[in-house]
Amino acid sequence: MTTQTGGRRVVTNMALSLDGHYARPDRPEDMSWVMPYAHTDVARDHLTALWEPATTALLGRVNAEGFLAFWPTVIGAEGVDPRDERFARWLVDADKVVLSSTLGAAPWERTTLVDKPTAEVVTDLKETEGGDILVLSSARVIKDLLAADMVDRLALTVFPVFLGGGPRLFDDGLPAARWTLTRQAAGEHGTLSLVYDRVR
């Protein structure tokens, strides 16, 4: 029994409510419930530990539009937390792969648009040189990778709120799998960060 070793790891990161949802049932685009907790030390340190070994960001189109509209504006902003600015610089400089069947051209630098199945895209990426492949909060992409048993490191931040419904990250029918807890931290407001590695 070993954890994932060698090659490029596929690392996924998602914020969940305490009742297991990643979005509100009536307004999935409204992430205001995350904001009071995303600015805590435990959440910032959690994200830092994920992006530092990564060289590629893998995103769905909707999440890419949100991330890449917001994070570059953080660079040089007055009073910004240094961890947020470092992440923003990494996101701008990293190779970005955006899964989309609707975008005709990438409006962001260092970005490749791909209209292929998620598992196929990740298989191709794993055959290239580089650090971790980090999937940033793109639920559809993460769900596809979990269903294909292609996630090597599963990172979660759990926030102490009930959303009362909405989409879940872990659907029934996922392949049976064992995971080992490699890092955990609890912080302000009851924020909990968890990092699991796939046992293969």
Residue 21 within any structural domain of the chain: yes
Residue 145 within any structural domain of the chain: yes
> Structure tokens of 4?
């994932």
Residue 20 within any structural domain of the chain: yes
Per-residue pLDDT of the chain (200 residues; tens, 9 = 90+): 434 444 799 999 999 999 999 999 988 888 889 988 888 999 999 999 999 999 999 999 988 998 888 999 999 999 999 999 999 999 999 999 999 999 888 888 999 999 999 999 999 999 999 999 999 999 999 999 999 999 999 999 999 999 999 999 999 999 999 999 999 999 888 999 999 999 99
Residue 186 within any structural domain of the chain: yes
Residue 2 within any structural domain of the chain: no
Residue 103 lies in domain:
10-199
Residue 1 within any structural domain of the chain: no
Predicted TM-score of the model (pTM): 0.93
Residue 132 within any structural domain of the chain: yes
Q: How many domains are there within the chain?
A: 1
Sheet containing strand 178-186, strands side by side: 111-114, 95-99, 54-60, 132-136, 10-17, 153-159, 192-199, 178-186
